[in-house]
Structure 1
Amino acid sequence: MGFFEAIRISMFQKYATFEGRARRAEYWYFYLFMIIASTALIVLAGMERDSLLALSIIFIASLAFILPSLAVTVRRLHDTDRSGWALLIGCIPVIGGILMLVWSCSRGTPGVNRFGSDPLNEV
């Protein structure tokens, strides 16, 4: 899965889909896109003279990214055979973030798990 295919799937086809599984490539390419887009918006907002307009642009972009980022993270957890509710572990300071990073980097379960078929075999 390439960068643009991952963005097409995460942002447009599965914008708010919390069911199924997401491969590591889909997950990490989505977050790379989110970092690039956020940085570009912050730079553009910094060039704006009206600070209220700049903050509004950043706020609207943040709202647009909330749902797909939650959805792709839940699908990534599903790929490692964990419930989407495991996302709440990220709320625990330090340890929660480390666990989420480890789980996000882990290889998904091969074959079918309780959340669906292996995304590698769906392509």
Structure 2
Amino acid sequence: MTAYLDAVRRYAVFSGRSSRSQFWFYHLTLLGLAVAGFIIDIAISGGSEPQPLISALIVIGHYIPSLAIIVRRLHDANLSGWLVLLCLLPGIGVIAFIVFGCLAPTPGPNRFDPSHSTGSQSATDGQTGASQAAGASAVERIEKLASLRASGAINDGEFERMKADVLGKTEQGNG
């Protein structure tokens, strides 16, 4: 339920990341709401053919948050949010939706959320967005930045800026 509430709070936020569990729990809750709306539609119709009034309002009301959470899910996999347009195509839209929900996340920072840190790391340098282990030496931090550059998570310019920042803090601490 918290995944659903988080997605509703971030109604039109197309930046940042959403995990697989947030994606699937949100859509599972939305499915439950749509089914409940359809049951209400059946009750309102009194036995005749139901008109999907309530269930349609529920689905339409969740259209933008659904697109936003799919975009954030794509960002979590380090993919462009514009791929969400594949979900709108007849036939392959459902397949794209399922694939996007199952994509593996990018560990640590990526181009859409450079300040993202994994559970085993703490972001001690929020200004540069480098994820660093607590108490790591300057060499360890620079090695971590080098691995981020090698994986493509940061570019050469970001690497040089973050490295200079690490070295500057080291000199300040020793001086």
Give the TM interval when normalised to the shorter protein: 0.7 to 0.9
- Deviation beyond 6 Å, 4+ runs, structure 1: none
Paired letter, 1:48: I
Give identity over the alignment, percent.
Answer: 32
Q: Specify the SS of the correspondent of 1:31.
A: helix
> How far did residue 16 of structure 1 move?
1.2
Note the 1:85-100 alignment, pairs <5 A: 85-90=82-87, 91=89, 93-94=91-92, 96-100=93-97
Contact kept, 8 Å, 1:23 with 1:120, in 2: the verdict is no
2:116 matched to which residue of 1? Answer: 118
1:48 matched to which residue of 2? Answer: 44
The separation in 2 between residues aligned to 1:40 and 1:119, in whole angstroms, is: 38
Paired letter, 1:44: I
2:14 matched to which residue of 1? Answer: 18
Unaligned regions of 5+ residues in structure 1, if any? none
**Relative contact order (alpha carbons < 8 A, sep ≥ 6): 1 or 2 greater?**
1
TM-score, scaled to structure 2: 0.58
Shift in CA distance, 74/49, structure 1 to aligned 2, threshold 3 Å: same
Q: CA RMSD in A?
A: 2.4
Unaligned regions of 5+ residues in structure 2, if any? 123-175
> How far did residue 64 of structure 1 move?
0.8
Higher-helix-fraction structure: 1
2:67 matched to which residue of 1? Answer: 70
Shift in CA distance, 62/114, structure 1 to aligned 2, threshold 3 Å: same
CA-to-partner distance for each residue in 1:72-114, whole Å, 9 max, x for gaps? 01100110111110112232633x5434422320211011111
